[in-house]
Amino acid sequence: MPKKSVQDDQEKRKDYAVRIYKILENQYGKDVHSPLKFKEPYQFCIAVILSAQCTDEQVNKVTPELFKKFPTIESLANAPVEEIENVIYSTGFYKNKAKNIQAFCKTLIEQYNGKIPQTIEELLKLPGVGRKTANVILQELYKIPSGIVVDTHVKRLSNVLGLTNQKNPEKIEQELMNLLPKKYWINFSLYLIFLGRTYCTAKKRLCTQCPLKNICISSSL
Protein backbone atom coordinates (compact mmCIF):
# COMPACT_ATOMS: atom_id res chain seq x y z
CA MET A 1 0.00 0.00 0.00
CA PRO A 2 1.57 3.32 -1.06
CA LYS A 3 2.56 5.51 1.83
CA LYS A 4 0.83 8.58 0.44
CA SER A 5 -2.58 6.90 0.26
CA VAL A 6 -2.33 5.79 3.89
CA GLN A 7 -1.38 9.18 5.30
CA ASP A 8 -3.58 11.43 3.17
CA ASP A 9 -6.97 9.74 3.46
CA GLN A 10 -8.43 9.18 6.92
CA GLU A 11 -10.81 6.42 5.83
CA LYS A 12 -7.99 4.57 4.09
CA ARG A 13 -5.86 4.96 7.19
CA LYS A 14 -8.65 3.50 9.33
CA ASP A 15 -9.04 0.58 6.93
CA TYR A 16 -5.28 0.05 6.94
CA ALA A 17 -5.16 0.08 10.75
CA VAL A 18 -7.98 -2.46 10.98
CA ARG A 19 -6.25 -4.72 8.44
CA ILE A 20 -3.11 -4.59 10.57
CA TYR A 21 -5.16 -5.48 13.63
CA LYS A 22 -6.87 -8.44 11.96
CA ILE A 23 -3.60 -9.89 10.68
CA LEU A 24 -1.98 -9.60 14.11
CA GLU A 25 -5.08 -11.03 15.77
CA ASN A 26 -4.71 -14.06 13.54
CA GLN A 27 -1.02 -14.25 14.42
CA TYR A 28 -1.27 -13.84 18.21
CA GLY A 29 -4.87 -14.77 19.01
CA LYS A 30 -7.77 -12.91 20.62
CA ASP A 31 -6.91 -13.74 24.24
CA VAL A 32 -3.66 -11.89 24.91
CA HIS A 33 -2.28 -10.60 28.19
CA SER A 34 0.59 -8.62 29.63
CA PRO A 35 3.76 -10.72 29.93
CA LEU A 36 4.16 -9.48 33.52
CA LYS A 37 3.49 -12.23 36.05
CA PHE A 38 1.40 -11.69 39.18
CA LYS A 39 -1.09 -13.32 41.56
CA GLU A 40 -2.76 -10.33 43.22
CA PRO A 41 -3.95 -7.12 41.48
CA TYR A 42 -1.66 -4.88 43.57
CA GLN A 43 1.28 -7.08 42.54
CA PHE A 44 0.56 -6.38 38.89
CA CYS A 45 0.55 -2.64 39.58
CA ILE A 46 3.92 -2.91 41.27
CA ALA A 47 5.27 -4.96 38.37
CA VAL A 48 4.14 -2.25 35.96
CA ILE A 49 5.89 0.41 38.04
CA LEU A 50 9.06 -1.71 37.96
CA SER A 51 8.82 -2.14 34.18
CA ALA A 52 9.64 1.51 33.49
CA GLN A 53 12.95 1.58 31.60
CA CYS A 54 13.24 -2.16 32.19
CA THR A 55 12.28 -5.31 30.29
CA ASP A 56 9.33 -7.42 31.36
CA GLU A 57 11.68 -10.40 31.46
CA GLN A 58 13.85 -8.74 34.09
CA VAL A 59 10.83 -7.63 36.11
CA ASN A 60 9.56 -11.22 36.11
CA LYS A 61 12.90 -12.31 37.57
CA VAL A 62 12.68 -9.79 40.40
CA THR A 63 9.05 -9.88 41.48
CA PRO A 64 8.98 -13.48 42.83
CA GLU A 65 11.66 -12.58 45.36
CA LEU A 66 10.01 -9.23 46.13
CA PHE A 67 6.60 -10.78 46.83
CA LYS A 68 8.11 -13.65 48.79
CA LYS A 69 10.00 -11.26 51.04
CA PHE A 70 6.99 -8.92 51.33
CA PRO A 71 3.92 -11.17 50.90
CA THR A 72 1.25 -8.53 51.59
CA ILE A 73 0.57 -4.97 50.56
CA GLU A 74 0.90 -3.98 54.23
CA SER A 75 4.35 -5.52 54.49
CA LEU A 76 5.51 -3.51 51.46
CA ALA A 77 3.99 -0.33 52.83
CA ASN A 78 5.80 -0.74 56.16
CA ALA A 79 9.12 -2.20 55.01
CA PRO A 80 12.38 -0.25 55.31
CA VAL A 81 12.69 1.28 51.84
CA GLU A 82 16.32 0.14 51.66
CA GLU A 83 15.18 -3.48 51.75
CA ILE A 84 12.90 -2.90 48.78
CA GLU A 85 15.76 -1.18 46.96
CA ASN A 86 18.02 -4.18 47.48
CA VAL A 87 15.53 -6.55 45.88
CA ILE A 88 14.64 -4.39 42.86
CA TYR A 89 18.13 -3.01 42.24
CA SER A 90 18.53 -4.79 38.87
CA THR A 91 15.45 -3.09 37.35
CA GLY A 92 17.19 0.30 37.29
CA PHE A 93 16.18 3.59 38.90
CA TYR A 94 15.68 1.46 41.99
CA LYS A 95 15.63 4.28 44.54
CA ASN A 96 12.82 6.14 42.84
CA LYS A 97 10.92 2.92 42.10
CA ALA A 98 11.21 1.73 45.72
CA LYS A 99 9.93 5.09 46.94
CA ASN A 100 7.00 4.96 44.51
CA ILE A 101 6.14 1.36 45.35
CA GLN A 102 5.99 2.10 49.05
CA ALA A 103 3.99 5.30 48.56
CA PHE A 104 1.67 3.48 46.16
CA CYS A 105 0.96 0.77 48.74
CA LYS A 106 0.39 3.25 51.56
CA THR A 107 -1.98 5.37 49.48
CA LEU A 108 -3.86 2.33 48.25
CA ILE A 109 -4.39 1.13 51.83
CA GLU A 110 -5.30 4.52 53.27
CA GLN A 111 -7.54 5.81 50.49
CA TYR A 112 -8.85 2.75 48.68
CA ASN A 113 -8.85 0.01 51.32
CA GLY A 114 -6.27 -1.89 49.30
CA LYS A 115 -8.48 -2.12 46.20
CA ILE A 116 -7.22 -0.99 42.80
CA PRO A 117 -9.39 1.88 41.45
CA GLN A 118 -11.26 1.34 38.20
CA THR A 119 -11.00 4.82 36.73
CA ILE A 120 -8.04 6.47 35.10
CA GLU A 121 -8.62 9.64 37.13
CA GLU A 122 -8.26 7.80 40.44
CA LEU A 123 -5.28 5.77 39.26
CA LEU A 124 -3.41 8.89 38.21
CA LYS A 125 -3.57 10.10 41.82
CA LEU A 126 -1.53 7.10 42.97
CA PRO A 127 2.26 7.49 43.35
CA GLY A 128 4.24 6.02 40.47
CA VAL A 129 1.24 5.86 38.12
CA GLY A 130 1.23 7.84 34.88
CA ARG A 131 -1.20 7.63 31.99
CA LYS A 132 0.53 4.69 30.32
CA THR A 133 0.69 2.78 33.62
CA ALA A 134 -2.96 3.55 34.34
CA ASN A 135 -4.01 2.27 30.92
CA VAL A 136 -2.05 -0.95 31.40
CA ILE A 137 -3.62 -1.53 34.82
CA LEU A 138 -7.21 -0.89 33.71
CA GLN A 139 -6.84 -3.05 30.64
CA GLU A 140 -5.15 -6.03 32.26
CA LEU A 141 -7.09 -6.11 35.52
CA TYR A 142 -10.52 -4.90 34.43
CA LYS A 143 -10.58 -5.17 30.63
CA ILE A 144 -11.47 -1.49 30.43
CA PRO A 145 -10.38 0.08 27.09
CA SER A 146 -9.31 3.36 28.65
CA GLY A 147 -6.92 4.18 25.83
CA ILE A 148 -4.05 2.66 23.87
CA VAL A 149 -0.83 1.92 25.72
CA VAL A 150 2.09 3.59 23.94
CA ASP A 151 5.37 2.07 25.07
CA THR A 152 8.64 2.14 23.12
CA HIS A 153 7.52 -0.67 20.77
CA VAL A 154 4.14 0.89 20.03
CA LYS A 155 5.72 4.29 19.51
CA ARG A 156 8.30 2.93 17.07
CA LEU A 157 6.04 0.57 15.14
CA SER A 158 3.23 3.11 14.80
CA ASN A 159 5.71 5.19 12.83
CA VAL A 160 7.18 2.24 10.93
CA LEU A 161 3.70 1.17 9.86
CA GLY A 162 2.78 4.71 8.82
CA LEU A 163 -0.10 4.99 11.27
CA THR A 164 1.33 8.25 12.58
CA ASN A 165 4.31 10.52 12.18
CA GLN A 166 4.04 11.81 15.74
CA LYS A 167 6.79 11.26 18.31
CA ASN A 168 4.93 12.30 21.45
CA PRO A 169 3.29 9.24 23.10
CA GLU A 170 0.07 11.10 23.99
CA LYS A 171 -0.34 12.37 20.43
CA ILE A 172 0.37 8.88 19.08
CA GLU A 173 -2.25 7.46 21.42
CA GLN A 174 -4.86 9.96 20.22
CA GLU A 175 -4.14 9.21 16.56
CA LEU A 176 -4.36 5.45 17.11
CA MET A 177 -7.60 5.83 19.08
CA ASN A 178 -9.05 7.78 16.15
CA LEU A 179 -8.05 5.04 13.71
CA LEU A 180 -9.24 1.98 15.58
CA PRO A 181 -12.60 0.95 17.07
CA LYS A 182 -12.58 1.07 20.87
CA LYS A 183 -13.01 -2.71 21.10
CA TYR A 184 -9.55 -3.09 19.49
CA TRP A 185 -7.65 -0.74 21.78
CA ILE A 186 -6.56 -3.23 24.45
CA ASN A 187 -5.17 -5.92 22.16
CA PHE A 188 -3.64 -3.59 19.59
CA SER A 189 -0.88 -2.33 21.85
CA LEU A 190 -0.08 -5.89 22.96
CA TYR A 191 0.06 -7.03 19.34
CA LEU A 192 2.55 -4.29 18.45
CA ILE A 193 4.62 -5.10 21.53
CA PHE A 194 4.80 -8.76 20.52
CA LEU A 195 5.62 -7.79 16.93
CA GLY A 196 8.32 -5.39 18.11
CA ARG A 197 10.00 -8.11 20.15
CA THR A 198 10.08 -10.66 17.35
CA TYR A 199 9.81 -9.64 13.70
CA CYS A 200 10.40 -5.89 13.87
CA THR A 201 12.93 -5.09 16.57
CA ALA A 202 14.72 -1.79 16.99
CA LYS A 203 17.90 -3.40 15.67
CA LYS A 204 16.56 -5.56 12.85
CA ARG A 205 13.44 -5.92 10.73
CA LEU A 206 12.68 -9.47 9.60
CA CYS A 207 10.41 -8.36 6.77
CA THR A 208 10.41 -11.71 4.97
CA GLN A 209 9.01 -13.43 8.06
CA CYS A 210 6.75 -10.66 9.35
CA PRO A 211 2.99 -11.32 9.20
CA LEU A 212 2.51 -7.74 7.95
CA LYS A 213 4.97 -8.06 5.09
CA ASN A 214 2.30 -7.74 2.40
CA ILE A 215 0.72 -4.51 3.68
CA CYS A 216 3.39 -2.71 5.73
CA ILE A 217 4.40 0.52 4.01
CA SER A 218 7.96 0.11 5.31
CA SER A 219 8.36 -3.50 4.18
CA SER A 220 11.56 -4.16 2.25
CA LEU A 221 9.74 -6.63 0.01
Name the residue ranges covered by the structural domains of the chain.
3-31+148-198, 41-142
Say if residue 192's pLDDT is above 60: yes
pLDDT at 24 (0 to 100): 98
DSSP state of 72: S
Active site (annotated) includes residue 132: yes
Residue 221 has pLDDT above 60, yes or no: yes
pLDDT band at 102 (very low <50, low <70, confident <90, very high): very high
pLDDT tens digits for 34-84? 999 999 999 999 999 999 999 999 999 999 999 999 999 999 999 999 999
The CA radius of gyration of the chain, in Å to the nearest whole number, is 19
Q: Which of 69, 99, 106, 151 is catalytic?
A: 151
* pLDDT tens per residue, range 115-161: 999 999 999 999 999 999 999 999 999 999 999 999 999 999 999 99
Catalytic residue list contains 31: no
Chain mean pLDDT for the chain: 93
Are residues 134 and 124 in contact, defined by beta-carbon separation less than 8 angstroms?
yes
- Nearest 5°: CA angle at 143, between 141 and 146? 105
> In terms of pTM, does the model score above 0.75?
yes
Percentage of the residues of the chain whose pLDDT score is greater than 90: 94
Q: Which CATH number fits domain 3-31+148-198: 1.10.10, 3.30.2410, 3.40.630, 1.10.1670?
A: 1.10.1670
- The CATH architecture to which 41-142 belongs is Orthogonal Bundle (1.10)
